Chain A
Amino acid sequence: GAVVSQHPSWVICKSGTSVKIECRSLDFQATTMFWYRQFPKQSLMLMATSNEGSKATYEQGVEKDKFLINHASLTLSTLTVTSAHPEDSSFYICSAEDSAWGGYTFGSGTRLTVV
């Protein structure tokens, strides 16, 4: 089946630094990828929709200058958390829509801890 690879699976960084998270669709092309954030014991909240070759669409309340999204190819989207702060610590998950079956496949997630 469709596989979405997300790296790194966990990262610890110092406050003020930037962290890049990669999301790759391994066996299918994804013109659209989605980035979610999950706080402990809470639901997945959509942050932004990543569109190949164009600007991402951000949900209300998500700072586009802080969470930079690049979708340069049909198989890769990246999320960069710029100038990270402890409140950015969270679990970030990407997903991609596979047009072959109309479903959504999720990456394994990235646990970000900012110290």
Chain B
Amino acid sequence: DQQVKQNSPSLSVQEGRISILNCDYTNSMFDYFLWYKKYPAEGPTFLISISSIKDKNEDGRFTVFLNKSAKHLSLHIVPSQPGDSAVYFCAARGNAGNMLTFGGGTRLMVKP
């Protein structure tokens, strides 16, 4: 049973436009959400996170939105740059433990 889902395996965006990556979860006990960027054969790199008590967190070009009632979060990247091309994972942590549950990832391709 996948508790964290990223339903779009890939996304293609033109440079300068907005990239929106989506993530849905089923476990209402998750209280902290994170987005990671990953290149092949490398470990994930932390991008941005959000606590369940907030609905938005912004850091430069990256903004994460959380809709608790819909159990949905999204990562907005604007403006998108070719260097943003990578696989993006959302992850969630439950308040019963500090382990992360990852979504399946979305491959973002930003075209020049």
Contacts and interface: CB of A to CB of B under 8 A. Distances in A.
Chain A interface, >50% SS class: strand
Given A43-B89, A44-B89, A103-B49, A49 B44 contact: no
Contact of B43 (A10, A46, A106): A106
B89 A34 contact: no
Given A42-B104, A43-B102, A46-B99, A106 B45 contact: yes
Nearest to B36: A106
B63 to A, nearest CB: 18
Contacts of A42: 104
B81 to A, nearest CB: 21
Contacts of A28: none
A34 B43 contact: no
Contact of A43 (B32, B49, B103): B103
Given A43-B89, A106-B43, A106-B44, 16 more contacts: A4-B43, A6-B43, A42-B104, A43-B102, A43-B105, A46-B99, A46-B100, A91-B41, A93-B44, A97-B98, A103-B46, A104-B91, A105-B46, A109-B42, A109-B43, A111-B41
21 contacts: A32-B98, A34-B99, A34-B100, A43-B102, A43-B105, A44-B89, A45-B102, A93-B43, A95-B43, A95-B44, A103-B34, A103-B46, A103-B49, A104-B46, A104-B100, A106-B36, A106-B43, A106-B44, A106-B46, A108-B42, A109-B41
Interface of B: 32, 34, 36, 41-46, 49, 89, 91, 97-105
